[in-house]
């Protein structure tokens, strides 16, 4: 795996990247994502693999072009160049993949596809309609919200009724580029029979693409941390404290498009993991019966997030919001207790006027947003109340000193997590008594690398993923808001300076709309 230092972009590769950067991206709807079903057909994965190998280079090329054109010399920073080279190397690996050899037998199998409508109807029946809320309990032994393997992956699925369906508004060059695009007129999902044994070349190609995507995904795990380092380098070079508005807008666009790329990669890897090999098909049929996936939430296969029929790739068709919130609470409290040396962190109360709220979502995204906001509330609560509580104890017992009071003897006010289900969205309010934020500073919390921590932690040069500490990078809230907005929701904050802060996380009920790509 390249590090971005020894590997360089050749002039020939750069020309090819710029060629792909002029192509139009092909959007993918959530409906296409879930049509694969919990046990995807190897044939459908095979066709989707071909689509991915043609679509991803377009998106990667656009990232290289954007990084080359980053504003105000951000493009010249060493870490920015490293990230650019990662995208270029991933582009090269995908475009260098050999095309699959499709025999006459395989061509016949791929041509005898099942009508897409029957696949959708079957899947909707099995899951009591994928766009309606389902009810299930959870077993966290294989819960993606806990192992969080695909926590950085997402897809745009919000409606954009105010935008034209295509954004090439009459320019001949734009329409030509779109018609020449490798994925023009193609779709990610194509229905194929699942009750047949596919030729070996299908599994071989699926594995080749999956292994390549796994390598690419690992290479880009450190992108957030490395771009953060690039912005730090820019700030030091320009001797400034705050991020310029142009760079703020660039980073918003950069991370927003990154989410879509990560979702496409993460979803395809997960679908490959779930595809049924001939051996698995026979074993599953023997052990569970051919209709085992229809047992429903109250049937023998009920296992909440461990129930395979609840998942299509990284998308959970009945994501239980309360259970995800409990996971986020547990994780945030653990990090907090470890950071401050507490035996027991501040209490976090989970309040749900209506129990068992579920909807279709990516659990890894939800736990990420909740974890980041809860972490902020815990830190604010502890640091705001330590001097107040110590002063109160000293007033009651003058023999005490600040140094002699153990932080574990302090009782902090609770943090409340309130979950409400509405017609259009699900809203989660995280309410703390952590002292709030001065009104003049509220806009700054959405800027990258803004933090109230006096010293920013060092970024580990060797880490392969961005694992933020308790606080200090100033990336938690801005990126969490991008995740929420990317799904058609939002993240808002209302503060009472001197008392506390309320964070409102609005989660849009996902629909079948497509990615709003530029």
Which sequence positions are flagged as catalytic?
Answer: 368, 372, 375-376
Give the phi and the psi of residue 186 in degrees, each rounded to 5: -105, 160
Distances in whole angstroms, Cα of residue 305 to Cα of each of 106, 487, 516: 35, 21, 29
Residue in 270, 279, 84, 116 with CA at minimum distance from that of residue 187 = 116
DSSP reduced 3-state for 350: strand
CB atoms within 10 A of CB 318: 24
Q: From CA 324, how far away is CA 297, in angstroms rounded?
A: 18
Structure tokens at 118: 């029957």
Report the b/e string of 175-204 with b at 16+ CB within 10 A: eebbeebbbeeeebbbbbebeeebbeebbe
Q: From CA 488, how far away is CA 505, in angstroms rounded?
A: 11
Q: Would you give the DSSP letter of residue 247? A: H
Instruction: Identify the bridge partners of residue 266 per DSSP, sorted by sequence position.
Output: none
Using alpha carbons only, give the angle 446, 451, 453 rounded to the nearest 5 degrees.
160
Residue located via tokens 């703390």: 432
User: What is the 3-class SS of 121-134, one letter each residue?
Assistant: HHHHHHCCCCCCCC
Q: From CA 3, how far away is CA 450, in angstroms rounded?
A: 27
Residue located via tokens 């008594």: 433
């Amino acid at each position: 795996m390249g590090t971005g230092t020894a590997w360089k972009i050749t002039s020939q590769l750069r020309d090819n990247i710029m060629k792909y950067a002029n192509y139009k991206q092909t959007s993918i709807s959530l409906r296409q994502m879930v049509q694969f079903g919990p046990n995807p057909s190897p044939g459908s994965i095979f066709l989707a693999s071909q689509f991915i190998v043609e679509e991803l280079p377009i998106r990667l090329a656009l990232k290289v072009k954007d990084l080359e054109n980053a504003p105000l010399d951000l493009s010249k920073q060493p870490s920015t160049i490293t990230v650019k080279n990662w995208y270029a190397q991933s582009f090269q690996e995908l475009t260098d993949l050999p095309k699959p050899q499709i025999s006459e037998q395989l061509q016949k199998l791929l041509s005898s596809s099942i009508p897409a409508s029957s696949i959708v109807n079957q899947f909707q029946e099995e899951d009591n309609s994928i766009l309606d809320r389902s009810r299930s309990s959870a077993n966290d032994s294989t819960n993606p919200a806990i192992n969080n393997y695909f926590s950085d992956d997402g897809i745009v699925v919000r409606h954009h009724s105010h935008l034209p369906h295509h954004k090439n508004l009459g320019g001949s060059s734009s329409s030509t580029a779109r018609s020449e695009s490798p994925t023009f007129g193609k779709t990610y999902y194509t229905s194929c029979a699942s009750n047949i044994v596919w030729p070996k070349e299908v599994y071989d190609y699926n594995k080749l693409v999956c292994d390549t995507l796994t390598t690419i995904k690992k290479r880009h795990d450190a992108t957030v941390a490395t771009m953060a380092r690039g912005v730090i380098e820019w700030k030091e070079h320009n001797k400034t404290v705050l991020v310029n508005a142009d760079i703020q807008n660039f980073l918003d666009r950069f991370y927003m498009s990154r989410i879509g790329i990560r979702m496409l990669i993460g979803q395809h890897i997960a679908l490959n993991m779930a595809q049924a090999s001939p051996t698995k098909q026979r074993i599953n049929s023997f052990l569970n019966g051919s209709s085992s996936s229809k047992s429903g939430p109250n049937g023998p296969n009920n296992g909440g997030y461990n129930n395979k029929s609840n998942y299509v790739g990284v998308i959970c068709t009945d994501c239980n919001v309360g259970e995800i919130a409990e996971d986020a609470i547990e994780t945030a409290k653990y990090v907090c207790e470890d950071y401050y040396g507490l035996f027991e962190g501040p209490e976090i109360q989970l309040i749900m006027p209506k129990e068992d709220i579920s909807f279709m979502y990516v659990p890894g995204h939800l736990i990420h947003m909740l974890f980041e906001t809860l972490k902020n509330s815990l830190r604010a609560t502890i640091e705001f109340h330590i001097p107040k509580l110590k002063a109160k104890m000293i007033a009651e017992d003058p023999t005490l000193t600040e140094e002699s009071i153990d932080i574990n003897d302090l009782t902090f006010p609770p943090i409340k997590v309130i979950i409400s289900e509405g017609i259009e969205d699900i809203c989660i309010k995280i309410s703390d008594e952590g002292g709030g934020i001065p009104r003049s500073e509220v806009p700054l919390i959405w800027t990258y690398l803004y933090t109230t921590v006096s010293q920013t932690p060092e970024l580990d040069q060797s880490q392969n993923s961005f694992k933020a500490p308790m606080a200090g990078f100033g990336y938690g809230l801005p990126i969490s808001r991008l995740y929420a907005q990317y799904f058609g929701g939002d993240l808002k904050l209302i503060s009472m300076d001197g008392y506390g802060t309320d964070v409102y996380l609005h989660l849009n009920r996902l629909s079948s709309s497509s990615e709003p790509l530029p």
